[in-house]
Amino acid sequence: MKRLIRALLIVVTIGAFLVACIFGLLVREFTLTAGESNVAQQFVIQQGDTVAIISSNLEDAGLIRRALLFRLLTNLRGAGSEIQAGTYYFSPNMTMSQMIQEMRTAQFGNFESVRVTIPEGLRLEEIAAIVEATGIVSDGEFLQLASDATAYKADYDFLADVPDGASLEGFLFPDTYDFFTDASADEIIRTMLDTFGLRYADVEQSAATADRSTFEIVTMASIIQREASNTAEMPRIAAVFWNRLKPEFAGQQLGADPTVQYALGYSDAEQSWWRKDLTALDLAVNSPYNTRINPGLPPGPISAPGLAALQAAANPAAEDITYFVAECVPEGERPTHQFTNDYSEFLRFQEEYQTCSK
């Protein structure tokens, strides 16, 4: 009898130990996050979505590690019936408990959305005009928030080097978005910043730009975006501009006309923020953005660069070139540039283009 009791006690002890181990493992799994990124993603729960659907969508979005664990934790909390439909913003570094807690708070809203395409190479004012055209928010509301990056720096690591008081110019990623018709200007801006974070995560800097900050890379990319005729030549244009910043290049001036266009602002005559007909007076405009008279990079980005321009700025072509001129190509063919490191050859290319243009 004593042996039986002893055996039962051993079995119970082992069982209790196993239960404790399993419980400990579950607790650990429940507190692990899907990643370290604090970049928020928009996550929508539709009316009628079950916990199974929600957990599967969260896993597909990379916001949780395992859908099964989310369903288990939701059941243990008795929260399945309390999850509310709505729009949420979750980041991979949030725990499942934090997400469930937010889902218990009513987030009802208008699920009607508007599709908006933001092209590459636009400045903030142009982006604001496109957003206003949707009827969601005014350009004034949008620009008021986008004109000061300070309020967003704590939430987005890639804004760390943006000077205090500077705008979000260059960081509102150009893409096609579906914005809810009741979205606020802040929500729209955060969605665009979130997208920038996701896209920029794939950009790797080469040895040539290893000492450059994200702010400098984005600034260079914004110029490349405005200068390039096509994405294929962007790495070569990047090489030209980075080479011009080297001490051996006289003056270390980029000499980029788009920075002059940015400095001049809106042209009533051309009805554009990017005037084409630059006069000698225009090229001498007294502005820190005028890279024809000031050395180095301008104070900040001049447009919203796309992924190709960002990659080119971070990974310029390994070429010793410092000049480029638009090349004359037959109508209908892809526009491009001719590149050289020889000033006399640059002048010849320039003359060829001017003759061809006439």
Domains and CATH numbers, the chain: 32-109 (3.30.1490.480), 113-200 (3.30.1490), 211-321 (no CATH)
Percent of the chain whose pLDDT exceeds 90: 50
| Mean pLDDT across 216-235 | 94
**Considering only 1-10, 77-86, 340-349, which range has the smallest mean pLDDT?**
1-10
Write down the pLDDT at residue 19: 45
Write down the pLDDT at residue 30: 74
pLDDT per residue over 151-187, tens digit each?
999 889 999 999 999 999 999 999 988 888 888 999 9
Residue 6 or 298, more confident: 298
**Considering only 22-26, 62-66, 207-211, 249-253, which range has the smallest mean pLDDT?**
22-26
Write down the pLDDT at residue 358: 52
Task: Please tell me whether the overall predicted TM-score, pTM, comes out greater than 0.95 for this model.
Answer: no
| Mean pLDDT across 55-70 | 91
| Mean pLDDT across 226-243 | 93
Write down the pLDDT at residue 153: 92
| Mean pLDDT across 203-222 | 94
Percent of the chain whose pLDDT exceeds 70: 88
Write down the pLDDT at residue 60: 92
pLDDT per residue over 2-61, tens digit each?
555 555 555 445 554 444 444 444 555 677 888 877 677 888 888 889 999 999 999 999
Give the integer Cα–Cα distance in Å for 215 and 160.
8
pLDDT-derived band at 135 (thresholds 50, 70, 90) equals very high
Write down the pLDDT at residue 342: 75
Write down the pLDDT at residue 14: 53
pLDDT at 110 over 80: no
Residue 89 or 247, more confident: 247
Q: Is 265 left (phi over 0), alpha (psi -120 to 50) or beta?
A: left
Residue 15 or 137, more confident: 137
pLDDT per residue over 258-279, tens digit each?
999 999 999 999 999 999 888 9
pLDDT-derived band at 109 (thresholds 50, 70, 90) equals very low
Rounded alpha-carbon distances, angstroms, from residue 312 to 78, 222, 240 = 51, 11, 11
| Mean pLDDT across 329-353 | 78
pLDDT-derived band at 313 (thresholds 50, 70, 90) equals very high
Q: Which pairs count as long-range contacts for 242-248, CB under 8 Å and 24+ apart, including other chains? A: 242/208, 242/209, 242/316, 243/320, 243/321, 243/322, 244/322, 245/296, 245/297
